[in-house]
Amino acid sequence: MTEDARFEDGGERPLNLGALDAEDLQVISSLVQDAVLPVTEIRWQAGRRRLGLLLNRVRWEDVEAAKKRGRPVERVQSLLVIDNVLGVASQGVDRSDKDMILQVLAVSFEPGADADGAVVLTLAGDGALQAKVEALEVSLRDVTRPYVAPSRKLPDHGA
């Protein structure tokens, strides 16, 4: 008998996840919610048909353990990569403003006629990035050790 992975199974190990359908992408979206990145950490490699973003994400998979142990919330730098990209568009993202910091709210997939569609990163402040893709293939990989978030607390959603 096989069993699905659980959040708790991640433990202290770095994440390395992939999404090939919209359901998988929801998991990645929940893990990158509230991630921040400078606009300078977005790379569109047209020849490789790849869009990469170096995010500073909240370690949502560790939040409950942190609360239990009374330690601060951690972030980790992660690479979010979208493959099979045919084109990229943005709204509310000024690439010339090198000091601009973006905050990811969600990642979603808008299906097209066949396997194609668009991966949409919804950003705080009415911003968005859209990657037109031939097929859905997204990966999320932690690339640094976790560090204490400067605020030492979870993002405030006004709740």
**DSSP secondary-structure letter at 156?**
P
Cβ-proximal residues to 40 (8 Å cutoff; 6+ apart), any chain:
98
The Cα–Cα gap between 78 and 122 comes to 17
> What does pTM read for this prediction?
0.88
Handedness of CA 73, 142, 55, 30 (dihedral sign): negative
Give the DSSP H/E element, type plus range, for residue 22. helix 22-32
What string of DSSP letters covers 62-110?
Answer: GHHHHHHHT---EEEEEEEEEESEEEEEEES--TT-TT-EEEEEEEEEE
**pLDDT by residue, tens only, the chain of 159 residues:** 455 544 444 456 899 999 999 999 999 999 999 999 999 999 999 999 999 999 999 999 988 888 898 888 899 999 999 999 999 999 999 889 999 999 999 999 999 988 899 999 999 998 999 999 999 999 999 999 999 988 766 776 654
CA distances from 41 to 61, 79, 137, 154 (A): 23, 10, 20, 23
3-class SS string, 99-131:
CCEEEEEEEEEEECCCCCEEEEEEECCCEEEEE
The Cα–Cα gap between 93 and 110 comes to 20
Q: Would you give the end-to-end CA distance of the chain in angstroms?
A: 40
Predicted local confidence at residue 27, as pLDDT: 97
